[in-house]
Chains A and B, each alone.
Chain A
């Protein structure tokens, strides 16, 4: 009997296996001040990032990257209502016009970062906010709500500050980390920052390691820690050029 058992072939028990989802969000300011070179640069830069993101994702079968775009101007809208697998993602050029309802964007984003629809087994989401101005709506309440969600706290939040008219304090409130507010002074900078931000997905999805929870997050874990990207060594954060400033 024992020999028979040893020789018997068994299928692996259990449910279907799954890799870990990673949700990547582009939050793009499409207000009137973005009209022209700025929005064109955003469109071109993000478009050029898609293939490298797909290639990086293909090299890591243990994570599944999903991308979504949220645009805000007068109001805010998801460009696609559902998460798009990176291998199917295409960029639809955005147009600029209207005011800067950033708070509305935070509200829509917060609704997608609750559990569900997010899985508690996902990798931390990556949120990249691009803006060249100041919120024209009352953003604080919705940002506060976003940052108190479990995945809102754990998300890697990056802001790209476009030109000289941005309220960087708002972007700093969003990221919780000054290093993650990237200054883009001109089209060249903006392209560089967008490309760098797009690579953060592969940093976050590099699996196989854990990090002890940071002391700050541990100390404040009951009170809404703001631990953006603390578990990752981002390295090589690009610096703005000294050239022309928008």
Chain B
């Protein structure tokens, strides 16, 4: 207990740097604010690593099980009723410690990288202030000890990402994107909030440890079995609550159909995309399900978990298909992220609970970890490339291998990792996911298998078109390698991507918190098949894109409509626009607006035009508008009275 007493410093430091930078933003000039933010994060990084060491290797393992440690900041923070109280506390357990490492590592790299990337930007200090705020919120989210706290940080993460996406507020598209992201995720959050309330009232607790304890889920399962609990459409209300919570996670994690904000969010600065949209915020949904995993697994025969699996698998496939055709490199990466998160969700959804059956859970967390490293690396490299050629589009690139050797190598490493080529990190986690899916359901495995091939293809399409393919004439403005701070972050993450796969993850993180042994069987046909699949995806990409050829055009022409639909992201955005603009605006808001404009405002204007003199005005009022109001009023009275008489 006491050995983690320092842990409140981890969220506190970024909060303090945020406050400091926020209040002095105008006084502190460029490099200094960056150094302050980075120094703070360095401390957080150190503390997180120390916590991980302490928890995993010194004190966490008690009798063969990783026991959670709860550090109370304030017990009984808010009392709802006698039984239902909310504590203010920090929960230290395998997944929160893992997330601490992920968040602090990526955030530190982004801080260092941005020293170079944001150089010369007029909002440099503001940028670092926002970064600190985001890091604080995200750290708070992963360390929360109850649903109520996690919701608060969940929203704070939303607010700070709103600020970061809209950072370039001169750009209308960035402002629109930030608003879209905020509102779409808020829309999802409202389901989350209702889910929280429902869970709170049935389980009489918001605390994760209490919720996840066998006593709680056995009691609830008992109610469900005896039909003592309300059910709706054949599912118990508690399962609905879990699904509602999952919808909140879908919003943050950009699962279909709530993914529409993610591609637009790429309008933010690229380091922000790496931090928020690759490694931390978007995996919050996965983390949330993992956090409540025992509940998901034990209630109603894991029905809610199956929903997670199906949505995850579908999103993985859907996003991978779209990624095949995008031209903007950041959008390819955005859809790739969505696809990989779908993978993680899928893995959670197919998992069991005890021992080796919990392989999916472990694989999901493992993939979360490795994906954070290589996807942040991909985004940061993309940032370096964009920095160098001043364009997001692949058509403006090509032949960059010559100019940017370091970027080329680290991009290759990351692309190999995400494709699942050994010995890079992605291979290990991805194969665990596929193995878990294979045990559960062959169809889901097959989707995952296909997606693996597609992933390899679109990543190498990206790689070859950026670094090889045509030799673009860059004119006088030759692209140059990234400055030292940026290159440092790239190389560090590159190294992580190489070594992260060798972490014996199943010894550390598992569904029932009992370490188990899991290793890759190299001769297993599954492993061979998936590596072959990835290799053929890479081969195909090389064939089509290593040199300029006319295959891509031929293929897209042959695909016809399918290509157009895919390139336009299946018109999901248009569908939303249609619903909001054509249906809601036309049939709900417009008539009301019309009424307000023509009846109410029209009347006001009429008043203004016709009379200037007070007496006339009052006279006019007495005969006109007032009566209307009074009439509405009295008819309201009559309507309610009549309704009561009728229904009684």
A binds B: no
A residues apposed to B, CB below 8 Å: none
